[in-house]
Structure 1
Amino acid sequence: MAYYRRHIFFCTNRREGSDRPCCCDRGGQDARAYVKARVKALGLSGPGEVRVNAAGCLDRCEEGPVAVVYPEGTWYTWVDEEDLDELVDEHLVNGREVSRLKI
């Protein structure tokens, strides 16, 4: 059995001096903090549940901000907190991928 039921990694990379965009400038860090607090408030954090992590560059910068959920390996992007709420409610809680947010 896996230590976590689901693991979501948010790219929080900050890139300076490059023509490529970075997820930090597109709200990656804020999104991670929002989802982490929401998962905790729902009682879904900890062993056997959901882990919300920051990640360095996930190399999908032009599609960002990005996050990836494991074990499925599903990649997402979002626009606002409503999108993040849907990602939490549907994928992290119920195990249903959110097609409209998938990359």
Structure 2
Amino acid sequence: MSHFKYHVFFCCNQRGEGETCCNDAGATAAQTYAKDRVAELQLKGAGKVRINKAGCMDRCDNGPVVVIYPEGVWYSYVDHEDIEEIIQEHLLHGRVVDRLRI
């Protein structure tokens, strides 16, 4: 059994000027938002949810991206409203958000 019910990785990679990357699209702010919301909702900790930063996940053209394990569901998002929808639907209710899935 996994230590966490869900392990969430936000690509927060920063590439050089002129190169497409998730961090230029607000990935670090999105990861911080998700981490804070998961804590507020008391979803943080063993047997619950872990929010992590990740380096390049090689999906730059789909970015910014986040992946949730153990299912291995990949999402792209635009803003905090999209992240909130992922938290509410996937992390709270176990439902994949098809409109954001890549």
Give the structure-1-normalised TM-score: 0.96
How many pairs align? Answer: 102
**2:9 counterpart SS class:** strand
Query: Residue 56 of structure 1 corresponds to which residue in structure 2?
Result: 55
Deviation at 1:80, TM superposition (A): 1.3
Matched, 1:82 2:81: yes
TM-superposed deviation, 1:62: 0.8
Matched AA of 2:86 = L
Please give the per-residue CA displacement for 1:14-59, whole angstroms capped at 9, x wherever unaligned: 0015x54011111110000000000000000000000000000000
> What CA RMSD, in Å, does the superposition of the two structures yield over aligned residues?
0.9
Gaps of 5+ in 2: none
Aligned to 1:101: 100
**Aligned pairs (5 A) from 1:33-72:** 33-72=32-71
1:20/1:62 contact within 8 Å kept? no
Q: Give the TM-score normalised by the residue count of structure 2.
A: 0.96
